[in-house]
C-alpha cells in the first residue's frame, strides 16, 4: 500500500523522540562547557616535557633532537645548552613546540629514547594571541612526573619502573668496571 513505508518510518522517529525523554540509551548529548566527558587514559592532545624534581634542572630531555627530526610537520625546535667553551651539553636551552602546527600524532613520544616527552590531555588551549600564544616554550612545556602519574597512572608507573631498571643496570656496570662512571652515564643520571 503506498504511503505505508512512510508511516512505518515515522513510527521509528516517534519512538526515538519519546525515547529521548526516558530511555538512558538515547541520552547522548553532553552540555559541553558545564558538563565534561571523562577522558580515557589513552586520550592525547599535545606533548609536554616530563621533569623529576626541579622544573629546569630535572628535565629528562637530553636534547638529542631525535623527536625534532621525526616530527612529521616539523614543529619542534631545539637548541642544546652550551658550556663556556662551546661544548654542547645534554640539556635543551630552547625547546619550542608550535601547537598551531602540531597534529598530536604522538610520533615524538614514541621515538624519544629517554621517556622525556609525553602526551598531555589538556585540550582547551585556545588563545586570542595569534602568533606567540601557541608557541609553547620550555617552561610552558615542563610538567612534573606527578602530573604525568595523575593523567596516565598505568603508563607512568610502567615508565618509572623501566627507568629505575635502566639506572640499576648502569650502576651495576659502573661498579663492575670499578672505575669512575663514564661521563655519558653521569649526565643521564640527574634524576633524584
Partner 1 sequence: MVDFAQPENAFKPGLPGAAEPACRVVPKYSDQGEREGDWLEISMGPQHPSTHGVFRMDLVLEGETVIRLKPVFGYLHRNHEKIAEQTTYLSSMPYTDRLDYFCSMTNNWAYALAVEKLAGLQVPERAEYIRIITAELTRLQNHACLMGFLMQDLGAMGTPLMYAFREREKILDLFEALSGARMMCNYMRFGGCRIDLPPGWLEQTRRLVADFPRFLDEFEALLTGNEIVMARLQGVGALSRELAINAGISGPMLRASGVNYDIRKVDQYGIYNRFEFRVPLGAHGDCYDRFMLRLLEMRESLRILEPALKDIPSGPIIDARAKLRNFKPRPGEAYGRIEAPKGELGFYLVSDGSANPYRYRVRPPSLINLTILEDLCLGQKVADVVIILGSVDIVLGEVDR
Binding stretches for ligand SF4 (CB under 6 A): 47, 61-67, 71-73, 75-76, 78, 97, 102-108, 112, 114, 116-117
Comparing CB distances to partner 1, the nearer of 97 and 138 is 97
Give me the numbers of helices (H) and strands (E) for the chain, helices first please.
7, 6
Q: What is the DSSP string of 129-192?
A: -SSSTTEE-HHHHEEEHHHHHHH-HHHHHHHHHHHHHHHHHHHHHHHHHTSPPPHHHHHH----
Residue 102 touches which of ligand SF4, partner 1, none (Cβ within 5-8 Å per kind): ligand SF4
Phi/psi zone of residue 159: left (φ > 0), alpha (ψ -120 to 50 degrees), beta?
Answer: alpha
- Decide whether 43 or 147 has the Cβ nearer to partner 1: 43
Report, in Å, the least distance between residue 6 CB and partner 1. 6
CA 51, 56, 58, 62 dihedral sign is positive
Tell me whether residue 23 or residue 81 sits nearer to partner 1 (CB atom).
23
Q: How far is the CB of 174 from ligand SF4 (least distance, A)?
A: 21
Adjacency order of strands within the sheet including 47-51: 117-119, 47-51, 142-144
Which of partner 1, ligand SF4, none lies near 189, with the C-beta cut-off 5 to 8 A by kind?
none
Which among partner 1, ligand SF4, none contacts residue 63 (Cβ within 5 to 8 A by kind)?
ligand SF4
- Residue 105 or residue 135: which is nearer to ligand SF4 going by CB? 105
Amino acid at each position: 500500500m503506498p504511503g505505508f513505508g512512510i508511516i512505518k518510518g515515522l513510527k521509528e522517529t516517534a519512538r526515538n523522540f519519546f525515547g529521548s525523554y526516558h530511555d538512558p540509551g538515547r541520552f547522548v548529548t553532553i552540555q559541553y562547557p558545564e558538563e565534561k566527558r571523562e577522558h580515557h587514559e589513552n586520550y592525547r592532545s599535545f606533548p609536554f616535557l616530563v621533569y623529576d624534581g626541579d622544573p629546569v634542572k630535572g628535565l629528562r630531555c637530553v636534547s638529542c633532537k631525535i623527536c625534532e627530526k621525526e616530527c612529521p610537520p616539523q614543529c619542534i625546535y631545539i637548541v642544546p645548552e652550551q658550556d663556556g667553551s662551546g661544548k654542547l651539553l645534554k640539556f635543551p636551552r630552547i625547546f619550542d613546540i608550535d601547537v598551531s602546527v602540531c597534529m598530536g600524532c604522538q610520533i615524538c613520544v614514541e621515538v624519544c629514547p629517554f621517556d622525556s616527552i609525553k602526551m598531555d590531555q589538556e585540550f582547551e588551549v585556545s588563545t586570542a594571541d595569534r602568533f606567540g600564544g601557541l608557541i609553547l616554550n620550555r617552561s610552558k612545556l615542563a610538567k612534573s612526573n606527578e602530573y604525568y602519574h595523575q593523567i596516565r597512572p598505568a603508563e607512568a608507573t610502567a615508565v618509572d619502573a623501566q627507568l629505575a631498571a635502566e639506572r640499576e643496570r648502569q650502576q651495576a656496570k659502573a661498579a663492575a668496571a670499578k672505575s669512575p662512571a663514564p661521563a655519558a652515564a653521569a649526565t643521564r643520571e640527574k634524576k633524584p
